[in-house]
Amino acid sequence: MSLNKVNTRTVVLIALMLIVSLGRLVSYNYPYTLSNFTPLGAIALFGGAYFTDKWKAYLTVFTTLFLSDILINYLYMSKLILWYPGAEWVYLPFLIMVLIGSFIKKVSVVNVAFAAVIAVLFHWLFTDLPFFYGAQYPHTLGGYGLSLVAAIPFERNMLFGDLVFGAILFGGFELAKSKYIVLRTKSELAV
């Protein structure tokens, strides 16, 4: 495969991820009803599934999160915040979602939906661990359970966001691959 094909595919993947990341503004405009309805999980799954060099997936997902966080934080607080306390614990689940996305070997509605459910379950169980929610809930198994129950509406919205934005990303790229050979990998061209 020529260097030109690799670069074109990579540029298209990154551009799609950055454009779709603007979908975070949906939940910004409707903070209570659509809280956590974002494209972030779908972007992570998409990157894990499509980048042949996985380091590009991790770097692109991290950069997308970082840049969109700067924008969202500026919109909420009217000041430039490059990094905030605990950001690493917010970013880590999305980087794990890249790994989950890398297990999608054949893109289909069922496989992408299954990966989205697994990613949201991981996010839910990880981000509601006792040391993340401060004094809001007791740092006990019961407190963890209360935190998990309270997070259900947010995680439901996250799942809907992953499914909607996943359909846009995965469906759009599969359609583009069917029309433009330059977007296919070497193994896809061999078939």
pLDDT in tens, 114-145: 999 999 999 999 988 877 766 788 888 888 99
Four-point Cα dihedral 146, 147, 149, 151, nearest 10: 160
Taking residues 50-79, what's their average pLDDT? 91
Secondary structure percentages of the chain, helix, strand, coil, to 5? 75, 0, 25
**Residue 128, domain member (yes or no):** yes
**Residue 80, domain member (yes or no):** yes
**Residue 191, domain member (yes or no):** no
**Residue 15, domain member (yes or no):** yes
pLDDT(2) > 60: no
pLDDT(6) > 50: no
Looking at residue 94, its pLDDT comes to: 95
Q: Which of 10, 20, 66 is nearest to 43 (CA)?
A: 20
Domain count, the chain: 1
Average pLDDT over all residues of the chain: 89
Q: Please tell me whether the overall predicted TM-score, pTM, comes out greater than 0.85 for this model.
A: yes
Q: Supply the range of the domain harboring residue 122.
A: 3-186
Instruction: Show the tokens assigned to 177.
Output: 């691959």
